[in-house]
Chain A
Amino acid sequence: DQQVKQNSPSLSVQEGRISILNCDYTNSMFDYFLWYKKYPAEGPTFLISISSIKDKNEDGRFTVFLNKSAKHLSLHIVPSQPGDSAVYFCAASAHGNNRLAFGKGNQVVVIP
């Protein structure tokens, strides 16, 4: 069963505009959430994370928002740059559990 869901598999955005990626989860035990970025022929690279005790975490151009009641998180990239073109994975883990559960990923294309 897919415990982490990413809909809208692809997103195209103009350079300089905002990219918004959404992620929903079903497991109420998840308490730590991460976003990874993946370029072709490379492994996923950690981007940003958020603990369930927070509702927002910001790192430069990247901000992650968490809505626990809705079991929903989102990643905002602003301004989007051509180098942001990649597949973005949402991942989650439960306290005391070392495995990460990943969504299927979103392909982002930033148009110069």
Chain B
Amino acid sequence: DTGVSQNPRHKITKRGQNVTFRCDPISEHNRLYWYRQTLGQGPEFLTYFQNEAQLEKSRLLSDRFSAERPKGSFSTLEIQRTEQGDSAMYLCASSLGNRVGEQFFGPGTRLTVL
């Protein structure tokens, strides 16, 4: 069990560019979550997958954001036409079965939009 991994760990981009992040959950976990954390705040929920189905999306997830989990394993989060306000830590978490708690988090991808 290598835990949840995320790539890249850091991303610096210019405003208007597109970026894509990847999350590899713990292998047997069927649930995958994306959160965003800004400075001085706790993580904020963005979206949730059960296997390959995206079952829940926060209103924070504007139409510039899209997430996929095509084979029910890894997931990608894409941000199109990035804005400076998108600068944040993007956290991925996974869990098994019906236990809402005990979501296991990855180290995050820190995005800086210049």
Contact = CB atoms under 8 A, between A and B. Distances in A.
Interface of A: 4, 6, 32, 34, 36, 41-46, 49, 89, 91, 93, 97-105
Give 7 nearest A-B pairs by CB, closest first.
Answer: A102-B42, A43-B105, A99-B45, A49-B101, A93-B100, A44-B105, A98-B48
Contact of B100 (A41, A43, A45, A100): A100
A99 to B, nearest CB: 4
A5 to B, nearest CB: 10
A98 B95 CA distance: 10
13 contacts: A4-B42, A6-B42, A43-B4, A43-B108, A46-B101, A46-B102, A46-B103, A89-B42, A98-B100, A99-B48, A100-B45, A104-B40, A104-B42
Interface of B: 4, 31, 33, 35, 40-45, 48, 55-56, 58, 91, 93, 100-108
Nearest to B57: A99
Nearest to B107: A43
Contacts of B101: 32, 34, 46, 49, 93, 100
B111 to A, nearest CB: 15
A43 B91 contact: yes
A32 B100 contact: yes
Contacts of B43: 44, 89, 100, 102
